[in-house]
Amino acid sequence: MTSRPLIIAPSVLAADLGRIDEEAERIKKSGAEWVHIDVMDGHFVPNISFGTNMVRTLRKVMGDVTLDVHLMIEQPDRYARDFVEAGADCLSVHLEARHTVSRTLDLIREMGCRAGLAINPPTLFKHAVPLLPKIQQLLLMTVNPGFGGQAFLSEVLPKIREAREVILRQNYDVDITVDGGIGEDTVRPCVSAGANILVAGTALFRQPDLTQAVANLRKSAQSATVSG
Ligand code: DX5
Ligand code: ZN
């Protein structure tokens, strides 16, 4: 368990995009702290979702809710500025994408945005270590990126623990995000291992009462016990 505040970030990928205004209202009233926006380009991942328009729309309707934008795209350095100008508060880019990662992270921070580094399940944590001084959040994918509704990969848990240990030991000001297959059952081991930003799509939006779903997820996260 971590001493950092728990943050719940519903992923709009799982919302009803045909009724985005109503869905935004539902998220706003749900008690969730953040909103997670998955941008997919059909190259870095085999799926296409949405771009800056979605961020701009949500910025307009969500008030001051933090917009957490997850770029699953190649060459994120080319598009970072557009997403910040559209209203992103946090921008996470992948270590595995085609760009000079440290330079992209600098660019994001220079624009006054929170910088996040995302890594896929097979990528070892040691590759992220040199970049920890440049980021505010480390996003550990708990599914292979590209689609919502996939099963949580429990083999990522040791990586969460390892990241938590190094971040604590080195005293970095970095949140740990888990993304993919997060629900009431899977959130507990993630929080025990050290995650504090919890992204959830399907598990929240498939429930008719989003406020209740967020409350239940939070209760489950809070019941997590400290692990080794
Ligand atoms: C997956 C995305 C996730 C996705 C999570 O590539 O990065 O943010 O929306 O969806 P669920 O919670 O349905 O696994
Ligand atoms: Zn995501």
Over 70: is that where the pLDDT of 27 sits?
A: yes
Over 80: is that where the pLDDT of 228 sits?
A: no
Over 80: is that where the pLDDT of 18 sits?
A: yes
C-alpha span between 219 and 145 (Å, rounded): 27
179 lines ligand 1 (CB under 6 A): yes
Q: Which atom of ligand 1 is nearest to the CA of 13?
A: 9
| pLDDT value of position 225 | 73
For the chain, the average pLDDT equals: 96
- Lowest mean pLDDT across 84-88, 100-104, 211-215, 222-226: 222-226
Residue 147 alpha carbon to ligand 1 centre in Å: 6
Ligand with minimal distance to 146 CA: 1
Q: What domains lie within the chain, and their CATH numbers?
A: 7-227 (3.20.20.70)
- Identify the H or E element spanning 200: strand 197-200
Ligand with minimal distance to 139 CA: 2
Structure letter (DSSP) for residue 74? S
Over 80: is that where the pLDDT of 1 sits?
A: no
Bridge partner residues of 115 (DSSP): 91
Q: Give the predicted TM-score (pTM) of the model.
A: 0.97
Over 60: is that where the pLDDT of 72 sits?
A: yes
| pLDDT value of position 3 | 80
State the average pLDDT over residues 206-222. Answer: 97
State the average pLDDT over residues 8-12. Answer: 98
C-alpha span between 95 and 16 (Å, rounded): 30
145 lines ligand 1 (CB under 6 A): yes
Give the CB-side neighbour count of residue 222, counting CA atoms within 13 A.
Answer: 9
**Percent of the chain topping pLDDT 70:** 98
Q: Which of 173, 179, 185, 209 is catalytic?
A: 179
Instruction: Render pLDDT for 127-147 as a digit per residue (tens, 0 to 9).
Output: 999 999 999 999 999 999 999
Report which residue type is found at 153.
L
Cβ 73 vs Cβ 97: under 8 Å:
yes
Query: 89 catalytic, yes or no?
Result: no
Instruction: Render pLDDT for 161-201 as a digit per residue (tens, 0 to 9).
Output: 999 999 999 999 999 999 999 999 999 999 999 999 999 99
Query: 173 catalytic, yes or no?
Result: no
